[in-house]
Chain A
Amino acid sequence: MSDMDKTHSAHPSPRKYLMVASALVVLTAIEVGIFYIESLGKGIIPILFILSAFKFALVGMFYMHLRYDSRLFSIFFITGLVLASLVTLALMTLFGMFN
């Protein structure tokens, strides 16, 4: 069966959804926790981005079922995401945020 013809395969069980929710709560708690570690300095930026990206991926893959659905849906979403990220980076560069 081609990827384009693929109907969506089995979705996670409620138990898995609860596990994902627990992971999201823990990650958020970690984000808030490290916010109070001033000594991290600018090092907090990549840490927070990685944690947020992980949360983003968990919601996208499991809650929005991208992991189980047609790859075309992922293409639509990720294309928008990539364009959005590039535009954001371009604006930040234009305004000298990285100087």
Chain B
Amino acid sequence: MANLNTTHSEHEEHTTTGLNNRKMLMWAFLGSDCMFFAALIATYVIYSGQIVGGGPVPEDVFSIPVTSVSTFVLLMSSMSMVLAYSALVRGQIKNFQIWILSTAFLGMTFIGFQVFEFRDFVLHGLTPKTNLFGSTFFVLTGFHGAHVTLGIIWLLSLYFFSLRGGVTPERHLDVDLAALYWHFVDVVWIVIFTVVYLLGVFPGI
């Protein structure tokens, strides 16, 4: 079994830039996804505090302790993702399988927290149709949750593929692309947690 150490290098690609086209595409996609989430976050921010027609406001529904735990879970999933990739390039397929499964499990835990939170909000009378806060919040976090869910499916696919010997150190780019996507999803949540949750209900402002 190949045992790539940390100084492994890809063979030079036969492209204009010498870089892999799939990886370039993933980075271009992530750049565009930045703009997508920025639009949703900006919409939330500009409409925050403009609650028309009643209904719950952030202070009524947000629970910073609960969201802090889910944030921690997602951060740990990023760590396990990078450890999965690191194990793969070292030829440690079993460790890769353990770490990528852990990442998917942590992602599912995060989604579980989101489902719990959304359900709690609905019970408090907040839905996407209630007011501007409800609309902008659910669209923003809903899209993020959809991104996480797609990522979980991707990771589980890689895991099951690896069981059949389809994931090898030579094909580490397949996992690298999934890892980039997963880390991006984590990074977006870092922004959402700060802007929507922490700043949204900070009593001192």
Contact = CB atoms under 8 A, between A and B. Distances in A.
Contact of A81 (B31, B42, B199, B205): B31
Contacts of A5: 12, 18
A79 B31 contact: yes
A87 B19 CA distance: 30
Interface stretch (B78-86, B109-117, B126-134): B78-86
Contact of A91 (B34, B42, B190): B42
A79 B42 CA distance: 18
A81 B23 CA distance: 18
A88 B41 contact: yes
Contact of B190 (A6, A59, A70, A78): A59
Interface residues of B, number: 56
Q: Which of B11, B33, B86, B179 has the most CB of A within 10 A?
A: B86
Interface string A54-75: 0110011011100000101100
A81 B34 contact: yes
A80 B204 contact: no
Interface of B: 6-7, 9-12, 17-19, 23-24, 27-28, 30-35, 37-39, 41-43, 45-46, 64, 68, 71-72, 75-76, 78-79, 81-83, 86, 89, 179-180, 183-184, 186-187, 190-191, 193-194, 198-199, 202-205
A97 B46 contact: yes
Interface residues of A, number: 59
A67 to B, nearest CB: 13
A8 B9 CA distance: 6
Contacts of B86: 11, 13-14, 17
B24 A64 contact: no
A62 B186 CA distance: 13
